[in-house]
Chains A and B, each alone.
Chain A
Amino acid sequence: MTDKPSSAYPVSWYQFTEHPESDSCWSLSVGPDGRIYAAACAEGSPGKSVKLVRYNEKTDALDYLFPLDQMVDDPADSGRATQCKIHYSFVPSMHDGVLYMATHLSGPPIDLPAYSPWGMWHDKERCFRGSALLAFDTRTDQVLWWDTMIPKEGCRCLLHDEERGLLYSLSYPRDHFFIYDIAKRKFRDVGRIGSVNAQALFLDRRHRVLTSNDDGRIVRYDPDKDRLETSPYILPHDPTYQTGWHSVLYDVAPSPDGECVYASTWIANPRLMRIWPNEGEWGRVEDLGPTTQPRDLTLPLSTFVDHCGGLVFGGDGYLYYCASRWKEGQTDESPRDLGKGSINMWGIVHRLNPATLEREEVFELKRPGQAAQYVSRAAIDHNGDLFFAHVGPRPVGIFRVAMPADRKKPNAHLPIRMWG
């Protein structure tokens, strides 16, 4: 039972109007400066670049900082696969105010309708140059440096272990686990995990990095062993029709006390769970159940319809996340056009009490004239307001939710999330 009406959470929509081809916002994070950064990605249009965007609270508008292709000397019209997006790959560096970001692939070369990293791997003119790691100084708004972090592949997700000066990432398409040493500016390929990228990495107290594999098992990199290990168990899934395959981690939010994380999976009826990584040999996982509605199990519903993302802790210490809802019978084969013209799907934000695990629906993310069922990431700014990233009809954008006064606090973004 909610104690506040949805009107207590005014939602504002900020469209990427200065990037008309933007079709996805995969990365949205709070920077080390407490401000919100978003990636206006263009993966569906040939020859386009991702643009870095920041919410300006003084003007209540978006500032367009720069297109990434120009900053990393890889122009979008080069004929190569483009630096089209940043995919769960903003990470802060608190000691120096730097926001690291790593690019991802799949945007077609300017003169081709599609790009295949498998088919064009050996094509010197077409192959993606590699994930570019860029260091952006949020104190001066200067790009300090960039480097190719993963040659020929994109970065699916990124994590920063600031104490050790290391960036961890998963590559696409080969699903390799990479370590980048910031001081040495050197990368190292630790090995392959599988075929289906997990969409998130997270860190435990012992500086171990956790993610998942194709079968829905936790994969953990232990720096002391320099080895990837696999959990004996499979993450929560629906045993009536799922095996764990593709139940990879989608979004992971750290609890403010740092003792556990909350996560959703990237599969039909995404599962919500709480993971205590520091307990026992392989941590403890609590299944918090499905996040979306029952569906016709004879039909593989679009992963862009049946989805849960945008996990973030509010200033009130509650977990907020966005789960999709759809009208019965909703089908579509074209994810980019989902929700265009008719609104049969909705993005519903839930609020979960970590003490009782009770959850409630608190508001809907309303995009004018379009459905907004797909939210990739969420973040909280230094004022305690929430922001949600959207993937949908172009140009996409982000939502800002002005949180009720009793549910926000100054510097609510701290301790900051160290992964994308």
Chain B
Amino acid sequence: MKSVKKPLDWHDPEVRALHDKIVHGSFINEGMMVAFPMCFPGVTVPIIADESRITALDATREGVIYGGTSGKRVHLFVGMFRADMGAVHDMGVVDGAEQCVAASCGPAGFAAFVNGPGGARIVIRELQRMPFSLIQEWGFTRKPFRYSAVPAGGERIIHAATDPSGRRAFATTLKHLLAVEIETGAVEVVGELRGMGRLAVDARGAVLGFDEGDTLWRFDPAAKKLDRRAIALPDGDWAHAPKVWARRRGPGLLYTADGKGDIFALDEEGRFSGPLCRATLTPVGPMAVTHDGRVFGFCGDEISRMFCYDPDAGKVTDIGAAVSVIQRRRYGYVFGDAVVGRDGEIVFGEDDDSGHLWLYFPRIVEKTAKPARP
């Protein structure tokens, strides 16, 4: 290796400022992240380190977070951060499973999509009733899971997404598209296709997934109609695309990224726009759209960094590496899923040993003061 750089001039007055920028500027530079351990702090122990890689999240309409872990074993959990809650409840272990690829919340039930050496399964449970108080007194039970078999001998599940009603989820396996009733666990094969990457459901309830030939397939649940190669992807590096999605609740755009980190938007008419911007690193990981339309996500391997795409400003911002200093002091490196909470905060699932739920509260943009009325 060659020597290429010349010594630093310590007499340069900007050196101190540069020092501080390097040291402190590496981490989250706007908004606030809080890492919450996978337990009821002070009451239960966290989920075991190598069983707590959080890979699947969903939220109820009330903002209660449900999800699943991957690792030596799969745990399903509920995170309660409202009122006087503040706990993650481990709902139990899914025996024989090593990976949870998706979680879906309905109005009263919850489904988790898991894989293991013995095949894939769909785990069903009713939603957790919110306890009276987690500051004063409490009590929890572990309600048993119900299991639904996955067709074709437990064919590996790739991903799943919830429809807007919350009653059904749609899942892809290696070769099939499934519809799952979240409350009952009833599974129906509704199509044949090769599952690739994550699924999205648009505001009208159509299910979308990556198809062959740089296209998307589209499934209309009402008509039970699967259109292969229904939407052509725009020009981009789709061979290396991470196949991730983010969607704003209610009507709105779906966002995805290609292998170069370029972000594209898909509207409800199936029209792509973009590239809108380029994420600061590749690959683009989990991302979510908060209530004001900003997209927050992580990008980059190993020590990922948060980025923000602001569609109003039409630009992407590097937010920095994740760190939590409120109560739990922890660096966050890799994240497996993201979901938007009740008030627009983003909840990221840390896909790492001793994974935490990371709550990100975006910066509130200062409003320009209106002139006083005469």
Q: Which residues of A contact B (CB under 8 A)?
A: 46-47, 73-75, 77-79, 108-122, 152, 173-174, 191-196, 213-214, 227-228, 230, 245
Name the one of B1, B18, B26, B320 contacting A113, with C-beta atoms under 8 angstroms. B18
Contacts of A121 in B (CB 8 A): 300, 302-303, 321
Contact of A191 among B6, B25, B26, B49 (CB under 8 A): B49
B26 → A minimal CB distance (Å)? 3
Question: B22: nearest residue on chain A (CB-CB)?
Answer: A114
- Beyond contacts A195-B329, A227-B72: 19 other A-B pairs, Cβ-Cβ < 8 A, are A47-B7, A77-B3, A77-B5, A78-B1, A79-B4, A110-B8, A111-B6, A113-B18, A114-B19, A114-B22, A116-B22, A118-B26, A121-B300, A122-B305, A173-B303, A174-B331, A174-B333, A214-B329, A227-B50
Select A119's contact among B1, B321, B330, beta carbons within 8 Å.
B321
B373 at the interface (CB under 8 A from A): no
Residues from chain A with Cβ under 8 Å of B10 in the complex: 113
Within 8 Å of chain A (Cβ to Cβ): is B215?
no
Q: Can you list 23 A-B contacts (CB < 8 A)?
A: A47-B7, A74-B1, A77-B5, A77-B7, A78-B1, A110-B7, A111-B8, A113-B8, A113-B19, A114-B18, A116-B22, A119-B22, A121-B300, A122-B281, A152-B302, A173-B303, A173-B331, A174-B333, A192-B333, A193-B49, A214-B329, A227-B50, A230-B48
The prevalent SS among residues of B at the interface is loop
The answer to whether A113 touches B15 (Cβ under 8 A) is: yes
What's the least CB distance linking B325 to chain A, in Å? 11
- The answer to whether B25 touches A110, judged by C-beta atoms less than 8 angstroms apart, is no
Query: Interface residue tally of chain B, by bracket?
Result: 35 or more
Contact at B352–A192, with CB atoms within 8 Å? Answer: yes
Can you name the residue of chain A whose Cβ is closest to the Cβ of B24?
A116
Cα distance A77–B16 when bound, in Å?
A: 21
Say yes or no for B27: interface residue by CB 8 A criterion: yes
Measured CB to CB, the closest approach of chain B to A254, in angstroms, equals 27
Task: Using CB atoms, name the residue of chain B closest to A192.
Answer: B353
Return chain A residues, CB-CB under 8 Å to B305. Answer: 122
Chain B residues positioned under 8 Å from A112 (CB to CB):
8, 18, 22
User: What is the CB-to-nearest-CB distance from A266 to chain B, in angstroms, rounded to a whole number?
Assistant: 14
**Is B369 in contact with chain A by the CB < 8 A criterion?**
no
Contacts of A191 in B (CB 8 A): 49-50, 353
Closest-CB distance, B327 to chain A (whole angstroms) = 10
A113-B15, A193-B353 known; A118 and B321 CB under 8 Å?
yes
